[in-house]
Amino acid sequence: MRDFSFVQARSRADAVALAHLPDTMVVAGGTEILNWMRIGIVAPDRVIDITRIQGMEGVEPLPNGGVRIGALTKLNDAAQHPLIRDGYPVFSEAILKSASAQIRNLATIGGNPLQRVRCPYFRADEPTPCNKRTPGSGCAALHGSNEKHAIFGWTNDCVAVHPADPPVALAALDAVYVTDDGGAGRRIPAGSFNVLPGQDPSAHSVLRRGEIITAIEIGPHAPKSAYLKIRERESYEYATVSAAVALDLEGDVIRRARIALGSVAMRPWRLAETERRIAGHALGSAAIAAAVDAGFAEARPLSSNAYKIKLARNAVLRTIELAARA
């Protein structure tokens, strides 16, 4: 780890101005950045602490029936807020399953989607071929250890997955990330915040230099929703597969379903074909399973992860049941 300067921003304008400087990283909860610096993933000249900025924390209702969550809101505070806990069970559950209580008390809602991939080659102490770490060097996981890697959206340049839980729920809820870049800022759909390898194998998110997340906005309440995380052990562990489902029901008939998978691609993966086919069918009918199967038509396993297709399919079916009972 090399020397770096540490600066505390006092306002959003201050943070954005500093973030525009080259070789600069923004930190809030700071639960990951030291690990990245220790193993050489990043080596910034300066680190900007934004935790002192006022007005970027808390949960508030929106006129459309949705909510706005400040980017500096701690994960635990968001998960336990009545507006989130009661209105968006899928999001509350995803947060509570994302990390240990100690980390959730430090990590922020705005920082969580900026996690980087958990590929062992990306995080190796000694450099290995990895286009995310050294652009143009190749992808060691393509024909290497890829049991936990992608079944959707991968290319020969990168087969990693995004590991975070809350963004999967946010994608299923059609949430947006609100940003500030010193100008008009942007409203970025949660489902397209992370970059697929076919767009740029070296990139992690669509954030530009000098752009910071200031809030997350979610639409009207989704009480019939649930999150399922499948992992090797129940204690703090990243998902092998996760599923987020939000249902609009009329009796036992699904009028609308929003379904996102986690740890299957470099971004939360919406099962658009399943969503289209499942509408109008009754819970428990054979049509539900057929609709879910249709969502996996484009799944492509790697050499060691074909099991993830069946695992993810069954996770979706189970999460639909859980959401219906919420």
Task: State how far the Cα of 150 lies from the Cα of 41, in Å rounded to an integer.
Answer: 21
For residue 278, count CB atoms less than 10 angstroms from its CB and return exposed for 0-12, middle for 13-18, buried for 19 or more.
buried
Task: State how far the Cα of 169 lies from the Cα of 213, in Å rounded to an integer.
Answer: 17
Domain with CATH 3.30.43.10 in the chain: 1-54
pLDDT value for 30: 86
Task: State how far the Cα of 167 lies from the Cα of 238, in Å rounded to an integer.
Answer: 13
74: left (phi over 0), alpha (psi -120 to 50) or beta: beta
Pairing of strands 5-8, 24-27: unpaired
Task: Give every strand in the sheet of 241-250, ordered side by side.
Answer: 225-230, 241-250, 253-262, 269-270
Residue 231: phi and psi, rounded to 5, are: -145, 165
pLDDT value for 127: 83
Task: State how far the Cα of 197 lies from the Cα of 133, in Å rounded to an integer.
Answer: 13
Contacts for 235 with CB less than 8 Å, ≥ 6 apart: none
**CA of residue 230 relative to chain centroid, distance:** 15
Per-residue pLDDT of the chain (326 residues; tens, 9 = 90+): 688 999 999 999 999 999 999 999 999 988 888 888 888 899 999 999 999 999 999 999 999 999 999 999 999 999 999 999 999 999 999 999 999 999 999 999 999 999 999 899 999 988 899 999 999 999 999 999 999 999 999 999 999 999 999 999 999 999 999 999 999 999 999 999 999 999 999 999 999 999 999 999 999 999 999 999 999 887 778 999 999 999 999 999 999 999 999 999 999 999 999 999 999 999 999 999 999 999 999 999 999 999 999 999 999 999 999 999 99
> Do 269 and 153 contact (CB within 8 A), yes or no?
yes
Residue 317: phi and psi, rounded to 5, are: -60, -45
DSSP-based three-state secondary structure for 133: coil
Does 3.40.50.10420 match the CATH number of domain 1-54?
no
> Do 172 and 270 contact (CB within 8 A), yes or no?
yes
pLDDT value for 101: 92
Domain with CATH 3.30.390.50 in the chain: 226-325
Q: What are the DSSP E strand ranges found in the chain?
A: 5-8, 24-27, 46-49, 59-61, 67-70, 176-180, 187-189, 212-218, 225-230, 241-250, 253-262, 269-270
The domain 226-325 is classified under which CATH number: 1.10.10.10, 1.20.1250.20, 3.30.390.50, 1.10.10.1100? Answer: 3.30.390.50
Buried b (16+ CB within 10 A) or exposed e, 299-311: beebeebeebbeb
pLDDT value for 105: 95
The 8-class DSSP code of residue 294 comes to H
For the record, the structure tokens of 37 come out as 């610096």
Own/partner pairs, 303-308, CB within 8 angstroms, 24+ separation = 303/143, 303/146, 304/145, 304/146, 304/147, 305/146, 305/147, 305/148, 305/149, 305/151, 308/151, 308/240, 308/241, 308/264
Could you tell me which residues are beta bridge partners of residue 218?
A: 67
Query: Which one, of 227, 233, 240, 253, lies nearest residue 171 by Cα?
Result: 227
